[in-house]
Structures are given as C-alpha cells and as structure tokens.
Amino acid sequence: MSKRWFITGGTPGGFGVAFAEAALDTGDRVVLTSRQPHELATWAEHYGDRVLVVAMDVTDAAQVLAAVREAEEHYGGIDVLVNNAGRGWYGSIEGMNETAIRAMFELNFFAVLSVTRAVLPGMRARGNGWIVNVSSVGGLLAAVGFGYYSATKYAIEAITDALRQEVADYGVSVLAVEPGAFRTNAYAGFAGEPVAEAIPDYHDMLEQVRTAFVDMNGVQPGDPHRGARAVIAAMAQDPPPHRLVLGNSGYEAVVDTLVQNLDDIRSSEALSRGADFPA
C-alpha cells in the first residue's frame, strides 16, 4: 500500500523536495510544507493529486496544527513524518547574538517537537507510522564556530532516541538522519552576509568558517536525491537502523569522532568506576 508522507521544509533544490520526489517515485503520496508554497506550484503540477503543497511556518504552532489537520483530512492520515525544516548559522559560543541562538533553537528543535506532537496521535491511533528526524553530522560531533547549531542537533538526537523507545509499542518507528555536506541551497546565504560577531577576538576564526562554506557552495559531494533514497532503503531494512549518516566524509568524521570519544572515556576508566560508594 502507498504511504502518505508529511515533509517539512519544502524549498526548490532542498532536501525536502528530494525526499518528496523519492517518495513519489515509489508510488507514495506527499504533503510538502513550505513558507513559500508558490515556489513549488509548477513542480507540484507534474504529480497531480499525489502532491499537496501546504503553507506552513514550522515555528507557528497554529499553522502546524492546521497543516497537519489538512493533510489528515486530504489523504486520510499521515504514515511518514519527515522533520526536515531547519537552518544552520555560525558564531562563537561567547559572542553569538542571543536572539539568533534562540531563533535557531525555535526552528531546529522546538518546531520539530511541535510537528511531531501534532502528528503522533494519528499514528498511535492507527498503530503504525514512521518519524524521520533530519539531524546532521553536527549532531554527533561539534564543529568550531557551529557550537550552537550542533547543540540544536544534539538535542534532536536525544529526543529521537527517547521517542523511539516511547512509541515502539504503538507500531511507530523513529529514525535519525545525519547528512554531511550535501548539494542543496543550505550554504547559499553565507556569501551575502558578512560575519556578525560581538567579540573581535573571534572574527578571524569565523571568517575562515564562512569562507569555507562559501567555497563549498555548489560543489558539496552529497547528492540529496541519493541521500533521500538511502533513507527509504534504511526504513525498509529489518530491523531498520536507529540512525543513518549520509555521505562519505560525514561517515568518516562520525566514526573517527566516536572512536576518539570511546578511547577518551576508557582512558579514565579507573576514575569513573571509583566515583561510587565503596562496595
């Protein structure tokens, strides 16, 4: 039977559209949400009634509830939720603007909770469903200049792991997806905005970060369509994985980091074990 998908963060050239096209290629139906739905009108026409584009700002709780209700009424339910909407930006831990920090958490973390909590009741009632949370390689390792972005994605990793256990008995599966550098429009905004940093000492470091992303824009190694198809393949595995890192460089970086972390933890094993009351 065809599945009914609800995908957030639909922008031309982005991962949301790649997920939608991968699902449509398998014969499924898709609700794709966007803050600018008119940008997807021509694209959606090609798929007829198998696609519904819905206006939704994921940070607006009322819009989230209305969009989920519209999707459920239109297709009769939601089988797969892809929490794809999000954005990354750079700044030092000490100097990044607090308003920008909170806005990034609202978009990357709290909005994911809002959409998930709106969709879950229907999945639990039917006894099946999939929740795919798009995290990042940055959710498994923190990068200089991207500490707050990584913090939002580390938080996604935590709730994904907890949620997986909480809803397993209700037939709902949960997957975290960690893309590395993929050729989407995610880096496009870095070129036009200079470094905004309150503390001059960090300016050079952040300028290097910004330049690296500008130089990588358009030549990222990751293919969003291959990545989306990999997610669908992972969902079909028995048992499915708990997380899926996407991209060669991302995979290598995550594995290296986890090995280093394990070595670091084991190096202080005696101190760790000695912190309990004596037996």
What is the reported pLDDT for 274?
96
Contacts of 13 (CB under 8 A, 6+ apart): 184, 185
Given this model, what pLDDT does residue 184 score?
A: 83
- pLDDT means per 10 residues, the chain with 279 residues, are 95 93 98 96 95 97 98 98 93 94 97 98 98 97 94 98 98 97 75 78 92 84 93 98 97 97 98 96
How far apart are alpha carbons 194 and 134 in whole angstroms? 28
Is 153 assigned a catalytic role? yes
Q: Looking at the chain, which runs of residues are DSSP E strands?
A: 4-7, 29-34, 51-55, 80-83, 129-134, 172-179, 243-246
Question: From edge to edge, which strands make up the β-sheet containing 51-55?
Answer: 51-55, 29-34, 4-7, 80-83, 129-134, 172-179, 243-246
In 3D space, the residue among 154, 212, 194 whose CA is nearest the CA of residue 178 turns out to be 154
Cβ pair 33, 58 in contact under 8 A: yes
Max CA pair span of the chain = 70
**How high is the pLDDT of residue 263?**
98
Among the options 75, 92, 136, 153, which is catalytic? 153
Name the 3-class secondary structure at 78: coil
Indicate the domain borders of the chain.
4-248
The neighbour count for residue 165, using CB atoms within 10 Å, is 9
Token pair listed for 143: 């990068």
Rounded CA gap, 180 and 170, in Å?
A: 31
DSSP state for residue 110 in the 8-state scheme: I
Question: What pLDDT is stored for residue 189 in this prediction?
Answer: 67
Matching CATH number, 4-248, of 3.40.1160.10, 3.40.50.720, 3.40.309.10, 1.10.357.10: 3.40.50.720
Q: Known catalytic residue: 3?
A: no
> Catalytic residue among 75, 90, 149, 154, which?
149
Phi, psi angles (nearest 5°) of residue 83 = -85, 90
Measured CA to CA, the distance from residue 244 to residue 247 in angstroms comes to: 10
**Cβ(174)–Cβ(167) under 8 Å?**
yes
Tell me which residue has tokens 């952040």.
Answer: 206
Going by C-alpha positions, the residue among 181, 162, 182, 173 that lies closest to residue 82 is 173
**Assigned token pair, 277:** 């009351």
CB distance 203 to 195 below 8 Å: yes
CA distances from 100 to 90, 95, 97 (A): 10, 11, 5
8 neighbors 84 (Cβ within 8 angstroms): yes
The tokens for 257 are 């980091």
- pTM (2 d.p.): 0.94
Active-site pick, 135, 136, 150, 173:
135
- pLDDT, residue 190, reads 67
Task: Kindly give, in sequence order, each residue whose CB lies less than 8 Å from that of residue 1, ignoring residues fewer than 6 positions away.
Answer: none
